[in-house]
């Protein structure tokens, strides 16, 4: 029996960042030299992003009102874990002061914010996915949660069972710290579960709060991270039971994974003292561009794709995929639209793109390739087939 995605739901926090306003906020930070200011402007302006969402209300407010921090003395680096940088338990995380200067809260304070803010987004996206799939909470047999931007236990899988009122016997799994590509392995795990139990109903839920780890744009990696990453959540309901098919679905035909010959140190995500530290070198788009054609030839074989859902790690990544695979310009329109409106929400992003295809104009039988990239450098892929009922 074939496992399939029955419905997808998405959620974003209410605060919206306008790209030009965030660019100006970062460029105006005290101590930013002329070269760094130019690099900030270039990165933000070339990102192909217009808006993003964040759980950091103070960051959005500071960007919206503009800043006047040039010429002000910079905030001195505080000792690690200085309590003056931490938010009180239960309080919103403070990331910008009244003068518009970026603060450096310790990792514990950032993670406390994750514990408060992530579960409601997991629940909102999952509730929408269940509704889209016409599946009741009591029908869910397995939960697979995904996140790389925070840590706690009992974790998101436990909270999702409690928050949605799922049965206490639901089997739970959590994929952590696999980065932007993790939704594809999560769907693969769901399909494997359904292969072994055709009656299973698996809820896959991803939530990422990338903005919690924002910091001063003092080097290339921080500038790139500040210009592309955002917050969001998405969930999918997977089952192999043909009786659960609605008007539209996506068959999960097969999956593939590949490690690039290089890139282990070009994309990395580690825990630092003032947030999680991102390494995202300028080599990443070039590595993707070099590796993607051979990886897709191995994965697809004689199959062909009618549509592409490519994780928008950034505009340059999409450009390299388009060139490397010889795709026509419109082929990545769905990926570019999600990048434009939401930015890079790490693991949740590919489900936003798949949702647009599930709700869109794919014909019955059209083949869709999902492709995402993660630390390593890892390429994760899935081949899906669109299903449409006669009444759809």
* Exposed/middle/buried for residue 360 (C-beta within 10 Å: 0-12, 13-18, 19+): exposed
Contact 142, 135 (CB under 8 A): no
What is the token pair recorded at 332?
Answer: 């990545």
Q: What are phi and psi of 325, to 5 degrees?
A: -95, -5
For 177, what's the count of Cα atoms within 13 Å in the CB-facing half-sphere?
Answer: 10
Beta-bridge partners for 159: none
Reply yes or no: is the peptide bond before residue 377 cis, omega within 30 of 0: yes
Q: What is the dihedral of CA 287, 290, 295, 298, to 10 degrees?
A: -160
- 8 and 351 Cβ atoms separated by less than 8 Å: yes
Residue written as tokens 């910079």?
74
* Long-range contacts, stretch 359-364, CB < 8 angstroms, 24+ apart: 359/248, 360/334, 362/306, 362/307, 362/386, 362/388, 363/388, 364/388
Contact 126, 164 (CB under 8 A): yes
Active site residue 148: no
CB under 8 A, 24+ apart: contacts of 107-110: 107/271, 107/272, 107/273, 107/274, 107/275, 107/276, 108/81, 109/85, 110/150, 110/212, 110/213, 110/275, 110/276
Query: Does residue 124 have a cis peptide bond before it, meaning omega lies within 30 degrees of 0?
Result: no
Helix (H, G, I), strand (E, B) or coil at 187: helix
**Residue with structure tokens 């769905």?**
334
Question: DSSP assignment of 59-77, as one string?
Answer: HHHHHHH----TTSPPPPP
Residues 48 and 138: their CA atoms lie apart, in Å, by 41
Q: Which of 180, 194, 206, 210 is catalytic?
A: 180
The label of the residue with tokens 């995202």 reads: 280
The catalytic residues are: 180
């Amino acid at each position: 029996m074939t496992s399939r995605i029955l419905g997808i739901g998405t959620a974003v926090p209410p605060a919206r960042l306008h790209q030009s306003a965030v660019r100006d906020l970062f460029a105006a930070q005290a101590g930013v030299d002329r070269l760094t200011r130019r690099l900030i402007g270039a990165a933000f302006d070339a990102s192909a992003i217009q808006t993003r969402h964040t759980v950091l209300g103070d960051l959005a407010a500071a960007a919206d009102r503009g800043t006047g921090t040039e010429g002000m003395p910079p905030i001195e680096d505080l000792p690690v874990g200085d309590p003056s940088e931490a938010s009180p338990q239960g309080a919103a995380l403070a990331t910008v002061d009244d003068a518009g200067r970026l603060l450096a809260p310790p990792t514990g304070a950032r993670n406390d914010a994750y514990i408060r803010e992530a579960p409601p987004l997991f629940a909102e996206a999952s509730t929408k996915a269940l509704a889209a799939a016409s599946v009741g909470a009591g029908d869910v047999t397995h939960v697979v949660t995904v996140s790389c931007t925070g840590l706690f236990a009992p974790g998101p899988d436990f909270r999702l069972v409690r928050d949605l009122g799922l049965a206490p016997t639901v089997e739970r799994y959590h994929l952590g710290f696999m980065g932007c590509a993790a939704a594809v392995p999560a769907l693969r795990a769901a399909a494997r579960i359904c292969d072994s139990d055709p009656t299973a109903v698996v809820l896959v839920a991803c939530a990422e709060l990338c903005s919690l780890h924002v910091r001063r744009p003092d080097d290339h990696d921080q500038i790139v991270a500040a210009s592309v990453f955002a917050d969001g959540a998405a969930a999918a309901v997977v089952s192999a039971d043909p009786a659960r098919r609605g008007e539209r679905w996506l068959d999960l035909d097969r999956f593939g994974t590949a490690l690039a010959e290089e890139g282990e140190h070009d994309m990395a995500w580690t825990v630092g003292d003032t947030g999680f530290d991102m390494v995202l070198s300028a080599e990443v788009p070039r590595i993707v561009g070099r590796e993607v054609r051979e990886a897709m030839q191995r994965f697809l074989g004689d199959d062909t794709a009618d549509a592409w859902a490519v994780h928008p790690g950034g505009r340059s990544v999409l450009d390299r995929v388009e060139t490397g695979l010889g795709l026509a310009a419109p082929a990545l329109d769905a990926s570019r639209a999600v990048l434009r409106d939401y930015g890079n929400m790490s693991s949740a992003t590919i489900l936003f793109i798949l949702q647009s295809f599930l709700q869109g104009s794919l014909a019955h039988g059209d083949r869709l390739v999902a492709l995402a990239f993660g630390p390593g450098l890892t390429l994760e892929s899935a081949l899906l087939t669109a299903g449409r009922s006669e009444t759809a």
